[in-house]
Structures are given as C-alpha cells and as structure tokens.
Amino acid sequence: MEAHCPKYLLYGLLVLGSWLLSCLLHFQYFHLSLYSSFAAPRHHTLVVLPVALDASFLPAPTVETETRRQSASVVASSSPSPSSPSCEGRYVYMLDMPSRFDMLRDCVAGSPLFDDIWSWCAITVNAGLGPKISPGDANSSDGGGTDIIPSTGWYSTDQYSLEVIFHNWMRRYECLTDDPAAATAVYVPYYPALELHQHLCGFNTTVRDGPSEAFLRWLSSQPTWAALGGRDHFMVAAKTTWMFRREPGGGDEGCGNNFLGQPESGNMTVLTYESNIWAPRDIAVPYPSYFHPSSAGEVAAWQARARAAPRPFLFAFAGARRIKGQLAIRDRVFDVCDAAARRGRCGMVDCSHGLEGSITCRSPRKLASLFTSARFCLQPRGDSFMRRSSIDSVMAGCIPVFFHRASTLRAQYRWHEPEPGRSSDDDRQYYVLMNSDDVLEGRVDIEEELSRYTDEEVAVMREEVIKMIPRFLYKDPRVRFQGEMRDAFDITIDEMMARMRRIKNGENLVWKGDDTDEAAEVTANDS
C-alpha cells in the first residue's frame, strides 16, 4: 500500500486543489461581488461520475465488512463490548441508499479515478483518514528538522473527510439494527459536502441545489421517514453551516447550496463543522485532525510527547493573509507575528504565497511541529469562525487564542468541549479570548497579553488542552481500538442517542441546541 507514491502525490494535489478551490469559494461566498471571474478554475471537471451500477457504498475495509455482515444478520445478539452500555435505546437503523446518491460509487479498487486529481476517490484512502504520514525524515524540508510525528497513527486527512470517516464508524457501530421499528434513530449515509463540491460556485442555484433537493425528496418518501417526519434521522454534512444555507433571495452568484434550508433538513439533526451560534439550528462536531490512533497507549504516548515538547515560541500562527482590508484581524495577526518572529517569539507557517504557500499549509508534519513549538496558537477567524487549525492546536497541546466568541470550542462544540464529570459552567482555563476590536484598535497588544501568563499558568492551561485531545480526535475506524478511550465519534453518538430518545419521547426540540434557554442566553451575551 505504502508503495503507491504517485497516488500520494496525486492525493496531495487533490487536497491542494480542493483547498485552493474551497478558499476561493469561501472567499467568494463571503465577498460575493469581488471576484466573480476568479471562481473555481476547474470546477466543471471536479467530479463527473457516470451512472452507477450497484448500491454498495464505500469500498469497505476488511475488518469492517465482517462487522457489518455480522451486525446485519444477528444484530440483536451482537454483544457490545463488556464495558459498553446495553443497546437498549441506542439502536440505529442505517438507511440503504440508491447508488445514484452515492458520491463515491465509482471509487472501486483499480478505478482510474484514483489517479484523477479532480476526483474525490482519494478521500476513501484508509477509510477516509487519507494517506499515512511516513516516519519522519529529519532532513526533510517538510519537518522543519524536528521529528515530532510518531511513526503510527498520523494521516494526511482531508478536512472534508468526516462524512466518510463517520460513515465507516457507523458501519462498525455496535448497535445497528435491521429493523427500523426497533431503532431509536436512523442514520442517513449521504455526503452533502462531497455532493456540493461538484458545483460549489459558478453555477446557478438550480444546478447547485438540484441534486440535494432530489435526495431530500427521495428521503422523505421512504417508509422510515413517515413516523416522525424525519425527526429521528441524523447525518453529517462536512462543511460549515454557512455553505448549506442561502439567505432568502440569494441569487445565482455566490457559492454553496440551501441544503439545510430545506424543510426536510430542518427536521433532521445534521452535524456540521460550525454552527450558527446566534440561531442554533445545527450541531457542530469537530473537524478531523491528523491523529487517528488505534490504541489508548498511542494516545497517552502522544500526550506525553506534547507535554514534554520544548516550546521556544511564545505564540504561533499558521494561515493565509486575505486581500488587504478583507479580514483585518488576519492582517493584524500577521503583522504581530512577523514583528515578534524577529525576536524569536512567534513561529509562523505562512500560507499566503500562492501554490507554494498552500502546499506548506497542507503539511501535517510542518503544522504539528510548529504547534508543538509554541505555548499559544493564534486562531483568528477565517471566512467563518471555526478553523480546523483550532483542532490541530488542541492536538498539539497548544493553548488556542481566539478573537471571537463564535470561534471558541466552548461555543461551537457543546457536546465535546465539556469535560465529563465536570459541570458545564466549570471554569477550566485552557484558552485565551481577546476581543478582536480591542486588538484592532490597539487597546490590547497580543504579545503583551500572552506574556502575562506565568510558566505555571501556562502549564496548567496546557494540561487542560492535553486532556481534551481524546475528545477531539477520531479513532482509526478500521481496527478495534485497544484500551478504553472515548473519542469524538463516541461522544457524538452518545449525545445523538440521548437527543433521539427525547425526540422519540415526544419532546419537540425545535432548535438544534438542546436547551433553548441556554441558546437564548448565548445570544444575549454576545456582542
């Protein structure tokens, strides 16, 4: 497997291409009028999948095929591992999907699509984790001379791959049932983000909305839908909420579709990477980072490494500048880091310089070595508030610094952020929140502010971040995990089942935030 260098090169190009594209698209989405001729150079050719032959979804990893077969035939007796709770109230029915809605239907072993850099097939590599990161070469320009990444468990994971990873985890879920009537919830293995990628920008709204609307019409005509109007259905949409919601009257310019604005999606629980915290209708779950361990020992070893890492930089930043004036906080962060870098206080991975910059920024090794070399990692908003980089920062044990409340893990990841056993309004200190206006208007100096934390305070905060690592990573879905550890998927599925039991009990959870009062309070407190 590891010998397919050309594939990885292609994969790299794919990732790069998708990144550039999404940058352009996001940019365009938020600054609609500016660059309409600039959009999506090759989008027409992105994914052109011919009509499919059969209904099998992803090429299933071997382990998983077995599990699936087993759970399909003898679900009721498939015994959960001794430590897991019983399946009572946790059964999930996984919908069978017609192949026409399978975005990866042609990604079968040997297909030339794997060598087509514009095809999404590469996203299926290693069950969605992407190519494994090979053991570090200390000389490699890629590693900055450090070899922080261990030889196992790290992958070049595409940021949009959660639909695939999650689906693979659902296939192994211990409480699948063949009987919809026995299920607490229905999982819909549709990939709205991959579907949207085919016509993200530069098409009229009919083209952008059509396929997902057709899918929703099909979905709501299924027998499973009728009982609760789809309110017991859940799925993943691996982008931010903004890409799936168009303001009423939004025209043919711009990007994204209105998948989440449809009445059917309004009834389902859809997991995105970022929700609108002011009108909480979706639930956000963490972006996948690069670390996908297969044992608790691997996680503990990484945590020890992150804890022990020498951190010569006070702070660090990885990202790209926006066109001057478009995103003032980004410019400020760049300037501050540039100035501090001359004194050895800030480390930067600059992704601003076209192709070269974006290649740099897709290097997990480079990012991980930067973030493990700094005490604080600056996370100014990008096109939206939540960045994947914030999750990378947690993985590296780097204390995140936010500039908007909507960027905080606490505001976005309400299922994953709280530490089990501690009250939700605990005063754990593990991040810094500066007001972006204060920074921009000179009332707060980033470096000065961060310098105030003593070594002891930093150590305490970092320990909190390191404790969060398991909750923000996705285990390797191909193997049985060795040891006890609850990851982002486990937390999601538990919370989802709790939510679905409430829905089944007749509660009308109107907002997708579980608690209306809390959501209202969040709105009131935000400026």
Ligand X SMILES: *[C@@H]1O[C@H](CO)[C@@H](O)[C@H](O)[C@H]1NC(C)=O
Note the residues at the interface with ligand X (CB under 6 A): 139, 204, 206-207, 220, 228-231, 263-264, 267
- In angstroms, give the least distance from the CB of 138 to ligand X: 7
Angstrom distances, CA of residue 186 to CA of 57, 166, 172, 238, 320:
17, 14, 15, 18, 40
The residue among 209 and 274 lying less far from ligand X, judged by its C-beta, is 209
What angle separates helix 488-504 from helix 162-171, to the nearest 10 degrees? 70
Give the span between the Cα atoms of 137 and 470, in whole angstroms.
27
409: which DSSP letter? H
Strand partners, 319: 350
The tokens of 518 are what? 């809390």
Q: Are 338 and 348 in contact (CB under 8 A)?
A: yes
Nearer to ligand X, 90 or 199 (CB): 199
Which CB atom, from 68 or from 504, has the smaller least distance to ligand X? Answer: 504
Closest to ligand X by CB, 228 or 444:
228
| CB nearer ligand X, residue 59 or residue 180 | 180
Rounded to 5°, the CA angle 175-102-250 comes to 110
347, containing H or E segment: strand 346-350
Question: Which is closer to ligand X, CB of 137 or CB of 426?
Answer: 137
Cβ proximity to ligand X, 264 vs 282, nearer residue: 264
Element (H, E) at 400: strand 399-402
Q: Of the two residues 207 and 459, which places its CB atom closer to ligand X in the complex?
A: 207
Min CB(187)–ligand X separation in Å: 18
- To the nearest whole angstrom, how small is the minimum distance from the Cβ of residue 460 to ligand X? 37
CA dihedral (232, 238, 240, 245) positive or negative: negative
Sign of the dihedral through C-alpha 243, 247, 250, 253: negative
HSE, CB side, 13 Å, CA atoms: give it for residue 9. Answer: 4
Q: How far is the CB of 508 from ligand X (least distance, A)?
A: 8
Q: How far is the CB of 263 from ligand X (least distance, A)?
A: 4
Residue 66 CA, chain-centre distance (Å), reads 27
Place of tokens 């995103």: 327
Q: Are strands 313-319 and 346-350 parallel, antiparallel or unpaired?
A: parallel
Closest CB to ligand X among 203 and 317?
203
Shortest distance, CB of residue 252 to ligand X, whole angstroms?
A: 7
Strand partners, 349: 318
H or E stretch covering 168: helix 162-171
Going by the DSSP 8-state scheme, the letter that residue 121 receives in this structure is: G
| CB of residue 204 to ligand X, shortest distance in Å | 4
When the beta carbons of 1 and 138 are compared against ligand X, the nearer one is 138
Residue 199 Cβ vs ligand X, minimum distance, rounded to whole Å: 9
What whole-number distance in Å separates Cα of residue 260 and Cα of residue 268? 9
What distance in Å separates the CA atoms of residue 455 and residue 349, rounded to the nearest whole number? 25
Residue nearest to ligand X according to CB distances in the complex: 229
Q: Which is nearer to ligand X, 76 or 207 (CB)?
A: 207
Residue 95, SS3 per DSSP: coil
Instruction: State the nearest-atom distance from the C-beta of 221 to ligand X, in Å.
Output: 10
Least Cβ distance, residue 230 to ligand X (angstroms): 5
Helix (H) or strand (E) segment spanning residue 235: strand 233-236
CA neighbor of 429 nearest in space, from 404, 408, 446, 407: 408
CB of 513 to ligand X, least distance (A): 18
